[in-house]
Structure 1
Amino acid sequence: MISLPAFRSKLPFAAAAFVALAALLACGERVRGITLNTLYLAVAVALVAVPAGMLVALLLTKTNLPGRRILLAAFGVLLFVPLYLHAAAWQAALGVSGWLTPPGNGLDSWAWIDGWRGTIWIHSIAAMPWVVCLVAAATRRTNGEAEAAASLSAPPWRVLWSITLPSLRPTIAIATLWTIVGVAVEMTVTDFFQIRTFAEEVYTVAATGGFQTDKPLDDYAPQSPWLMNISLAAGTLLLATIAFTILLSVYRYLREFADRPSSRTWRWELRRGGRWGAGSLVLLVLLAILGLPILALIYKTGLGAQQTSDGWQRVWMLSELRAELSRAPGSHYREALQSLKLGLAVASAVTLLGIAIGWRFRTARRWPVVLLCLLSLALAVPGPVLGLIVIRLLNHSYDSHLYWLTQLYDQTLLAPWLVQSVRLLPVASMAMAAGFAGVPTALIETARVEGARWHQQLLRIAFPLTWRTVLATWLMTFALSIGELAATILVMPPGRPTLAIHLFNLLHYGVEDQVSAVALLLLGLLMLIATAVVAIVGWRRST
């Protein structure tokens, strides 16, 4: 028999599963096909990234691995590398005409990074750091006393299997769903390799005037744009229910552990050979994720023509590497300036809103269902779909009384600011909610009894304790804004694009010296910001 409280706790998840199934059935035949294609890709990525990420996280947090803090911080830095940079780096290494690709031409050329294989690999590489960081954060809340007691009568591997892993099941589920949603809402990699997914389909047909629905729907409701787009809405609702499950699980997790202190961590004391073997494995994974692609970009950037006895040949030269890196900032500074302006505006807006929403999550007496639903939609709407929605909202004809919105749409960064703010608001809100979870409930209740309002509690109690989290959230959203592409590419006004859009367009012509130089500089900037965020978060935990 299931108790009534247990039944009530599982009811939202059952309702989400029912809505997801109904949304899938409501999709038209074509939209259902690309939606199932999307889920196939997402599940394949999860099957690769989640087990590998779990293993790395357990090695870094549950063993006496040498240099585990530095290695974990390196995985935290990788969270900020956008998908198109992963794609550029791996194409430079193992794509057509890549550094390690066997020579060939025309139909005889072969590349390991191509098609479904390349799409799954690049998405898995990008998702693995998220899994590592989520599972590593959850291990700080496992029952260390129970693990230590069990280790007295059982081998360490059995302690991990019977105590540690069962306590991590909710986090593993969150990491899996996060991976699925992250793959489903992106079109960057699928556009490179021409894989038909939900977001890719919308992006591909956006230039033709909108999303074409199935013929039966067109016949039944030729005059109703809402009914004609019911398949599009149903596919988006399917992803939103998955996102709702993620956010609800995170919210419940933060509420449950808000005032619970971290217990003493139990670790598997590996012997010297095992320590260095496990450390080499983690370091190998880290080098495979980032080291090999960076070396490939450096190699492609430094390629130049040199005359030899056999004629002109392409060879790697340090002077060519220096020249390309020095020319890249001057050649692309206008695009970089656009990215910086947009990033400053987006980061400031979503951080302020994220503070308010995160504090609402911390102090709400009941489940904030409406907020969770809105954030789920913002998280799950594919970037191209969000771009189309904003175009419909801002783009009006000359004789419309809303034409002034069109002028803002054409002449300012309002549209890209809006789509990026919507996309990054769930991330900022959850980051601030995690920070506010460390504010003691006793202080909040005392202030509430003394008559302090919510904004007074926030400014006088929460902010002094969490200002480092606020700074880290701002830097994080700033870096993510610079790297955002899927929604921004459809709404960027005429003129100079952002650096992300400019680089994405160049990548379609191959990863050559100039493109590699831009990718290296942008990667260096994002990793510098990410290092600052990781340092701030680490400083907060150590103080």
Structure 2
Amino acid sequence: MTSHLTPARRPLLPAALFALTAAALAIALLIWGDPLSVRLTFATAIYALAVIAITLPPATATSLLLFRSNLIGRGVLVSLLTIWLFIPIYVHIAGWRDLFGPQGWLEIPSPFDTSANLIDGWTGLLWLHSLAAFPWAVLITGMAFTRSSAGLEDDARLEVTPLAVLAKVTLRQNWDAVLVAAAWIIVTVFGEMSIASVCNVRTYAEVVFTGIPLGQSTSQSTLTVAPGTVLIVGLILLTAWLAHGLRPAPTDVEVRQPKLLPLGHRRAIASLAVWLLFLIALAPPIVGLVYKVGITIDQVDGQFVRGWSLAKVFMLTLSSASIYRKELLWTLALSMCVAAVTTLISLLLSDLATRGRWGGRLVSLTCALLFALPGPIVGIGIAWGSNWPWLAPLAPLIDRSIFAPTLAILTVTVPLVTFFYWHTLNASRQLYEMARIDGSSWWRTWTRVVLPANIPAIVAGSLIALVLAANDVSASVMVLPAGIDTISRRIFGLLHFGGEDNVAGILLMNLGVVAVLSVAIRRLVSWRGPSDFGD
């Protein structure tokens, strides 16, 4: 093979900087961290590395095949991936535990400890985190693979097979996207406490969360949280630097989009492999929930007999909206508020990101810092800040409204939606520059050119924020005022007592709503034309 197939990159430099930064942060944590923080941080880091090892290889292979080849049913797979992205974590937890977990339909003991369950303890933690991280890893790497050099791939196809092109050209050109996906997994494992709490595993975020209900004050918790927060912020800063390569390319230097590579006689095998992977990941939790919600207990001749009823599945799933009516209304109000604020802030940040190199760096850094902090730490910070004496006049707003949970959830939605708008609106930069050259003001350009041309993408971003806000548990659970309860918080609490049929019913309804919204998001993104986020 000719030498031009090797991308002109220096792969050792970022990897070395990544390793050196991680080593420096670990040494700083050992020197200044308290024993509990050090133990929990390194335990969580080990879990994160294990999740990376489980998730990244199949996710990278799936991303290459899904975004860069002519798989059979590719459009349906992309839609399923979109749904998978927005499935709440507690749906994964409940579905898999209802099927294979304690008191599940097919209860399976752990091969490492026969007294424990497979979907419990550290095995359940790793598996559930891998399921939650997989679609995001596919998306992050896929965004880079769709921007690969079409010229290099066309030249390579003259000498090697399409699969070899994907491995030796596309992947090697965009290896840094794999590092970004790995950093994403590390941050999410550190920041998510729902899985660890249900699986009874002590991780950093889980201990921070449980410390408050057990009577720790926020000042006491901060002593434990601070060292781990330093570590997370350092990792996310590195992630922001790595993510620089994933930012939209300037429109004036945009190259020809690469075409889907034909797999030839290997198309059927590759398609079957990807379809089986999606089936293995998505079918069991749905089966588990359907089984759980349809269980019936009848008394026959003085004995209780377990059965299953399809009629009960439909009846309980449909009636769950009235059973949890109050929680659903609060969830809708909170989600709509978050979506509106997120849309406004993210549009402004995405505009700032396109105003030169420093604007992009500032927005990347801002989003990285927001997304860095684990949800429980965000809750502690808001609770601590809201107790300042000079904020006393705002007590009714903080303690009797959705202001505090809205503020907490914005740390999750704003970074993601900002990057979404940054990518999807990047195609309008030429129109923006032409209007500016003609003397149009910023306000006139945005209201007359940018916004009207990108209404589907803007609505899609709002729906993304809506779904993320409705799914959130970690960031908002500690700052929900008394009398205000969301469906995600209610389900999270009920999961600790086992997934009963009424919980499975609301989860099935939740899954159906998420599926509809996810398909709508994909259609809106596809409507505005090709982008980094799919067809």
Q: Same fold (TM over 0.5)?
A: yes
Work out which of the residue numbers 223, 230, 240 in structure 2 matches 1:237.
230
1: CA distance between counterparts of 2:448 and 2:11? 37
- The C-alpha deviation readout for 1:290-318, integer Å capped at 9, x for no partner, is 11110110011000013446832111112
2: CA distance between counterparts of 1:230 and 1:330? 43
Residue 399 of structure 2: aligned partner: 410
2: CA distance between counterparts of 1:292 and 1:211? 40
Q: For 1:211-226, what aligned pairs fall within 5 Å after superposition?
A: none
Aligned partners of 1:178 and 1:246 also within 8 Å: yes
- The C-alpha deviation readout for 1:64-95, integer Å capped at 9, x for no partner, is 22111211221111111121111111111111
Residue 277 of structure 1: aligned partner: 269
Residue 473 of structure 1: aligned partner: 461
Aligned partners of 2:147 and 2:258 also within 8 Å: no
1: CA distance between counterparts of 2:15 and 2:499? 49
Deviation at 1:266, TM superposition (A): 4.6
Is 1:337 equivalent to 2:329 in the alignment?
yes
AA aligned opposite 2:217 = G
Change over 3 Å in CA distance of 1:333–1:411 after alignment to 2: same
2: CA distance between counterparts of 1:185 and 1:201? 11
Residue 291 of structure 1: aligned partner: 283
AA aligned opposite 1:112 = L
Secondary structure, aligned partner of 1:363: coil
Is 1:422 equivalent to 2:416 in the alignment?
no
- The C-alpha deviation readout for 1:318-371, integer Å capped at 9, x for no partner, is 222233223311110100000000000000001100000011101234255444
- The C-alpha deviation readout for 1:2-47, integer Å capped at 9, x for no partner, is xxx9999999979965874465343222211111111111111111
Residue 461 of structure 1: aligned partner: 449
Change over 3 Å in CA distance of 1:177–1:6 after alignment to 2: closer
* More off after superposition, 232-241 vs 363-372: 363-372
2: CA distance between counterparts of 1:462 and 1:454? 10
2: CA distance between counterparts of 1:232 and 1:250? 26
1: CA distance between counterparts of 2:358 and 2:109? 62
2: CA distance between counterparts of 1:310 and 1:103? 32
Deviation at 1:162, TM superposition (A): 1.9
Change over 3 Å in CA distance of 1:158–1:488 after alignment to 2: same
Aligned partners of 2:248 and 2:422 also within 8 Å: no
Is 1:264 equivalent to 2:258 in the alignment?
yes
- TM-score of the superposition, structure 2-length normalised? 0.89
Residue 379 of structure 2: aligned partner: 387
* Aligned Cα root-mean-square deviation (Å): 2.9
Change over 3 Å in CA distance of 1:8–1:129 after alignment to 2: closer
Secondary structure, aligned partner of 2:385: helix
2: CA distance between counterparts of 1:97 and 1:27? 40
Is 1:169 equivalent to 2:169 in the alignment?
no
Deviation at 1:238, TM superposition (A): 1.6
Work out which of the residue numbers 134, 142, 150 in structure 2 matches 1:136.
142
Is 1:483 equivalent to 2:490 in the alignment?
no
1: CA distance between counterparts of 2:152 and 2:13? 28
Secondary structure, aligned partner of 2:304: strand
- The C-alpha deviation readout for 1:391-410, integer Å capped at 9, x for no partner, is 112235xxx45323332222
Aligned partners of 1:101 and 1:110 also within 8 Å: no
1: CA distance between counterparts of 2:109 and 2:207? 33
Work out which of the residue numbers 284, 287, 307 in structure 2 matches 1:315.
307
AA aligned opposite 1:499 = I
Secondary structure, aligned partner of 1:256: coil
Aligned partners of 1:468 and 1:536 also within 8 Å: yes
Secondary structure, aligned partner of 1:402: helix
Q: For 1:6-85, what aligned pairs fall within 5 Å after superposition?
A: 20-21=25-26, 23-25=28-30, 26-85=32-91
Change over 3 Å in CA distance of 1:32–1:532 after alignment to 2: same
Secondary structure, aligned partner of 1:117: helix
- TM-score of the superposition, structure 1-length normalised? 0.88
Which stretches in structure 1 are left out of the alignment for 5+ residues? 214-227
Residue 196 of structure 1: aligned partner: 202
Aligned partners of 2:320 and 2:505 also within 8 Å: yes
2: CA distance between counterparts of 1:60 and 1:83? 23
Work out which of the residue numbers 488, 492, 495 in structure 2 matches 1:507.
495
Q: For 1:436-451, what aligned pairs fall within 5 Å after superposition?
A: 436-441=425-430, 443-451=431-439
Fraction of identical pairs, as percent: 28
Secondary structure, aligned partner of 2:307: strand
Aligned partners of 1:384 and 1:490 also within 8 Å: yes
Aligned partners of 2:421 and 2:458 also within 8 Å: yes
2: CA distance between counterparts of 1:13 and 1:136? 22
AA aligned opposite 1:431 = F
Deviation at 1:477, TM superposition (A): 0.5
- The C-alpha deviation readout for 1:455-491, integer Å capped at 9, x for no partner, is 3433333223322211110000001100000011111
